[in-house]
Amino acid sequence: MGLIPGRSRTGAGKILSYFNAFYINSKGGEFKRSEAIRQLKKIRKFHDQAYNEHGDKRDTWIQDALATLVNMKVLSRRRPGLYEWNKAPGVEESRAFNYYFKKYHKYGNANTKPRKENTKPEQTKLNITPNSEGSSLKQLGSNKTTYKYDEPSVKILETFDNKDQEQIYLVSFIQTRDEFSSLCPVTGQPDQAKIEILYVPNKKMVESKSLKLYFFAFRNYGSFHENIINKITKDLWQLLTPKYLRIFGDFSPRGGIAIKPLVEKWAEPNLHLSTSVIQQIQRLVNSWDRKNAVL
């Protein structure tokens, strides 16, 4: 097994044994970094191998080892370039030395503590072209998200193309009670609601981040519960022109009374939905209601 610094436990263990020999020769006490470099370079075979394979012209393996021993409290750094032994670098420290030295030598930084490795996976960068799916979206993936809290508008909402228009399928969005809030237009008191959206897409589909921002815009918006649900219905209908749309608002009770508006709209006659398609949509909605016990 090779003796390359930081490449194996044997390599790091060898470095620790060289420092132990240096401790004995220097009889403890203070020493300069230049003295450590000069003494350790006498182990020519090891140093030549490290020099040739790492291009280690700055003797960074020695500097990193010094920083590691300081971190382990084996050495104290009195001032730049001057160190003092606290104890001999014994065999019992070999595992800790191996762990810390690999981090120091990996980053090539002998004067600071090892940095925490980034374990977050790197986000894949896609080649987005004008014809790519979602290329027209502005909010999704943006680092400059704009939040509005008192002006819900259909302009906040964004869409993407439905690539399966021949397929009849149901899309649902549920905004939990803790997330959706608005204001009473008279008292200014906050209202909270669980908002449920069901729709069967036609040509366009609503993008979820823009829908979230749209819901946020109700935060300081004053309106009665019924008007809020009707507004959401009108905005989404204008945006999507779907084959079917249902909006349900489950508002928190006030004065012991819970208001739960429900709006349902079917496609305009010009879409010419057949009887079989209408029946299929009804089965999907009924299946959803049974599964989720909404009403």
Token reading at 50: 């490290």
Note the Cα 265 to chain centre separation in Å: 38
Are residues 62 and 22 in contact, defined by beta-carbon separation less than 8 angstroms? no
Active-site residue (options: 184, 235, 250, 289): 184
Residue 235 is a catalytic residue: no
Active-site residue (options: 191, 235, 250, 289): 191
Residue 191 is a catalytic residue: yes
Per-position DSSP letters for 201-219, written without gaps between them: -SSEEE-HHHHHHHHHTTT
Token reading at 8: 């194996």
Q: Kindly give, in sequence order, each residue whose CB lies less than 8 Å from that of residue 124, ignoring residues fewer than 6 positions away.
A: none
Q: 200 has which bridge partners?
A: 244
Question: What separation in angstroms does the CA of 220 have from each of 119, 180, 181, 250?
Answer: 39, 11, 8, 18
Residue type (1 letter), 132: S
Catalytic residue numbers read 184, 191
